[in-house]
Amino acid sequence: MHVPDEQVVEELSSTAADDVADDDGSDANDSSSEGGSRKDELEISDLTEAERFITFSDAVIAIAMTLLILPLMEATSEIAAEDEEQIITVQQFFAENADKVGAFFISFWVVAQFWMAHDKAFRYVGRFSRRLVLLNFLWMLGIVFLPVVTGLLTSSPDRLGVVVYILTMLITNMVGGLMLYVIRSDRRVW
């Protein structure tokens, strides 16, 4: 096991203190004490932190996309039923589950569009402010909730499922717009 020496621990501690100061509005790049190398260390540290959070966001989106298929996976059990009278053909499966299949493809496409917009917006983000972290978590909440509202969309006998689905997409999109505004207006995250 590698044990960091005292100099590395001091540098990490001062980097963490600078990050806390950054959240209060000060600029860590103004306090370069080692002739430029300190600035480079901060940029590498901050970039890694941003990449880690962006990777986490990507994983949440991937899981949400995977969850969209679960209602169809549950329905496929009817194809391989033990009782021969209950066995359905693939054609019958798609006829009986057309609404679920349609909702899956629409929701998959919607989440893919959200991910592409997120990827484009965060491509040059090097650091996260607290506001941006909060907005990103709210945005991910909307993405994670989409499989639930997709299930409501296909199983609810009334139109409330459609309303909840549309509201979820609108709110998620508005939070995404707020994130983009924060990214563009707060130069500290670049």
Q: What pLDDT, in 10s, does the model give residues 111-120? A: 999 999 999 9
Q: Is the pLDDT of residue 33 over 90?
A: no
CA 35 to chain centre: 38
Return the residue matching tokens 């194809």.
79
Residue 170 structure tokens: 């609108």
The amino acid that residue 146 corresponds to is: L
User: Residue 114's pLDDT is what?
Assistant: 96
Q: Is the pTM of this model over 0.85?
A: no
Between 40-44, 64-68, 112-116, 171-175, the lowest mean confidence (pLDDT) is in: 40-44
- Looking at residue 24, what DSSP letter applies? T
User: Residue 15's pLDDT is what?
Assistant: 43
**24 or 78: which carries more pLDDT confidence?**
78
Name 178's Cβ contacts closer than 8 Å, sequence gap at least 6.
Answer: 135
* pLDDT tens by residue, 50-93: 888 899 999 999 999 999 998 888 877 766 666 666 677 788 88
Confidence band, pLDDT 50/70/90 cuts, at residue 167? very high
> Mean pLDDT over residues 141-159, rounded?
87
User: Residue 89's pLDDT is what?
Assistant: 79
The whole-angstrom separation of Cα 66 and Cα 58 is: 12
User: Residue 126's pLDDT is what?
Assistant: 85
Q: Is the pLDDT of residue 11 over 70?
A: no
- Looking at residue 34, what DSSP letter applies? S
In degrees rounded to 5, what are phi and psi of residue 150? -65, -40
